[in-house]
Amino acid sequence: MAVWALGINHHTAPLDLRGRFAFALDQIAPTLTGLRQSLTSATRHPEVETAIISTCNRTEIYCAADAPALDHTLGWLAQSGGVTTDVLRQHSYLLESGSVARHAFRVASGLDSMVLGETQILGQMKNAVRAAEDAGALGTTLNQLFQRSFAVAKEVRSSTEIGEHSISMAAAAVRLAGQLFEDLSKIRILFVGAGEMIELASTHFAARNPQQITIANRTLERGEKLACRLGASVMRLADIPDHLHEYDAIISCTASSLPIIGLGAVERALKKRKHRPIFMVDLAVPRDIEPEIKDLRDVYLYTVDDLASVVKTAQASRQATVAQAEAIIDAGVLNFVQWMDQRSLGGVVPLIQQINAQADEWRALEIARARKLLAKGEDMDTVLEALSRGLTQKMMHGTMAALHQGDAEERAQTAATVSRLFLRDRRSDR
């Protein structure tokens, strides 16, 4: 069986393009049916296996069949998203064989996520596998791929600290917020902007299930797209001063050339909050938040430079953790490839089974003979000697006979094979 995958994710494509290829969970079954019919026609193989993983950050198609059909899969997905194959090719990745396993294992382990080590993707993958099973689209090969993905992810999480180390400014912001607020699930957060940095930051904070998330953006339409993904509300930038007091944390990153949040607005918000603290992060360059605000008693304001030091502190630990996770994944990939190779042996497998059956038959005969000798009162050493000699003779009889058969060339070939099988250096077995 050939295995291949086609994907588009937050590394390769912008949010709007990813949105074209998003499939709701209840759409997976009919979509898989259409995909399998299309691939069956292309490959002429009636048992094509397929699965689709579709989240906010990625859409990936996994397939298995007698022969790969990468271009056909690309064309099918492009058509489903209403774009040309050239556009999709520029923003996607096509993988085959061991590369498919490596990618799936990294995704399941949280190494390919927007937030390093996040656990949500594993649940989403399991839902996708169940949907494929329910649709009758999952066979032995893809089932093995995904079950091994889950096992590798479990080992990564139990053997490393993959979820403990920050990898970005956004993760550092979460860590600092956690130092100020005892429980992040009880705070209200305002995100100002809707670009990539805010998308990343909001994903980190959303993982902590805050009480409320609001997206403030100059263009409501773009803000609504991000808010929809997070289950958040939206507001216009002009409305921020009137609602600033409602939020415990404000994270801002826009392209504005002038500060959006001024000193006076924050002072008024603090009065309404009765001086309950406000956590503020300014990820923008130039600044979105006036620097004088940092001097206010109940405000904890951090800039990009402040967060950079937190990220730097965690850098060494993060690299070591990722290296450990990658080593586990490498071992998992090797095992999957070996399993695939064994399946491709074809007629060799029945031969191996026949050899094992013959060896078991000889062993049973010699054990039965040894038991009879013991019952007659024969010495133990004599019985063991007879057992080992009888078993050796049975196993070597065919080999010895073959060495005397055929012409000189055939005997030479047989002798070379016997030498390779029986007289190899014992050190190779250690």
Q: What are phi and psi of 283, to 5 degrees?
A: -95, 5
CB 304 within 8 A of CB 289: no
Query: β-strands 2-9, 93-96: how paired?
Result: antiparallel
56, 63, 228, 253: which is the annotated catalytic residue?
Answer: 56
Q: Work out the widest C-alpha separation in the chain, in whole angstroms.
A: 106
Q: How far apart are CA 131 and CA 30, in angstroms?
A: 10
Q: Which of 25, 34, 80 is nearest to 53 (CA)?
A: 25
Whether 63 is a known active-site residue: answer no
Residue given tokens 């005969």 in the structure block: 365
Q: How far apart are CA 15 and CA 18, in angstroms?
A: 5
Q: Which of 205, 165, 169 is nearest to 187 (CA)?
A: 205
Looking at 10-163, list the stretches that DSSP marks H as alpha helix, in order from N- to C-terminal side: 15-19, 28-43, 70-81, 85-90, 98-109, 120-134, 140-159
Q: What are phi and psi of 106, to 5 degrees?
A: -70, -40
Q: Which of 271, 117, 284, 290 is nearest to 204 (CA)?
A: 117
Q: Which of 291, 227, 280 is nearest to 258 (CA)?
A: 291
Q: Which of 86, 78, 79, 21 is nearest to 52 (CA)?
A: 21
Residue ranges with strand state E in 133-266: 188-192, 212-217, 233-236, 249-252
Active site residues: 56
